[in-house]
Structure 1
Amino acid sequence: MTRLPLAAALAALLAPAAWAHDYGFAGVLSNTNSGEMPGLLLAVGQPISDGPITLESGKMYELEIEADGSGELALEGAGFFRAIWINEVVINGLEVRPFGLESVEFDEAGEMEIEFLAIKPGRYELKIPGSTGESQRVEITIQ
């Protein structure tokens, strides 16, 4: 007869209602593990960024890219995109969870947000393909 109360107590502990706590994300996805990152602007003849960007390995960031529609512009940076883990890309409210990226392109005005975890320390760049001007690229360092 002692097995029945023990089995009932164990079932109560293992019931889904016992797991109904909302503790939120832990570790790298927690709200306390995020850093700030300046946005980037894609516009013909305008600098992409005000200067170099420094990130911390192991922190989550949200990169906001805005295109003004003045031209069909892209950003490439395979080295940078391979040094991060991409959680999601948000375009016009639609969330995409890609395995990886090499570049992004804007055919018209719009905004894109890339939420990612900085992983591999090093110096990387995002640039407009085919451009040679210093203002048409941004250096990103992951420490």
Structure 2
Amino acid sequence: MVHRTIVTASSALFLAGPAFAAPLCGELGFAGLLAKCNRGEPIEITLASGKPLGKGPVTLQSGAYYEMRITADGSAELAITGAPFFRAIWMNEIVINGIEVRPMGIDSLEFDEAGTATLSFIAIKPGSYEVKIPDTTSDSQKVEISIQ
């Protein structure tokens, strides 16, 4: 009797199919997850001495494509770190001054002068994360990001 119950329960799970977050659009087409309809709003991060990094918490949807634009104003040599967040996404590319880099993963980015880096990625692993200026404790020096 117990064996039959286990078989019935496991069959129901198998027939139900995999659980996954729905993309932002119904038909992804040939581009798949990189399709234009599967793109969320850009995330703007500003690296400036004494100024907040962003405008509050950011919520992303697992399976959706995003761009994070990190702009440094050159007022100080600043970095942004967030290894747990960077491990929870699939990085498509980082574009710096027109140079496209396709990394396996990153830990941080440091800006010695003014400039912009654009990270394009797909949010993967649900959870709560943060990107921040290293060795800071102020809430304005970090951006909380949740992937649902």
TM-score range, shorter chain: 0.7 to 0.9
For structure 2, the 5+ residue unaligned runs are 1-28
TM-score (norm 2): 0.79
Looking at structure 2, the residues matched to 72 and 110 of structure 1 have their Cα atoms a distance apart, in angstroms, of 11
Looking at structure 1, the residues matched to 134 and 100 of structure 2 have their Cα atoms a distance apart, in angstroms, of 25
1:86 deviates by 0.3
Percent identical among aligned pairs is 61
What is the number of residues matched between the two proteins?
120
- CA deviations 1:24-51 (Å, max 9, x no partner) are 8432111111111330000000000010
Partner of 2:80: 75
Map 1:1-143 onto structure 2 (within 5 A).
25-143=30-148
Looking at structure 1, the residues matched to 64 and 97 of structure 2 have their Cα atoms a distance apart, in angstroms, of 25
Q: SS state of the match for residue 43, structure 2?
A: coil
TM-score (norm 1): 0.82
1:53 deviates by 0.4
For structure 1, the 5+ residue unaligned runs are 1-23
- CA deviations 1:41-70 (Å, max 9, x no partner) are 000000000100000000000100000000
The alignment yields a C-alpha RMSD, in angstroms, of 1.0
> In terms of Rg, which structure is larger?
1
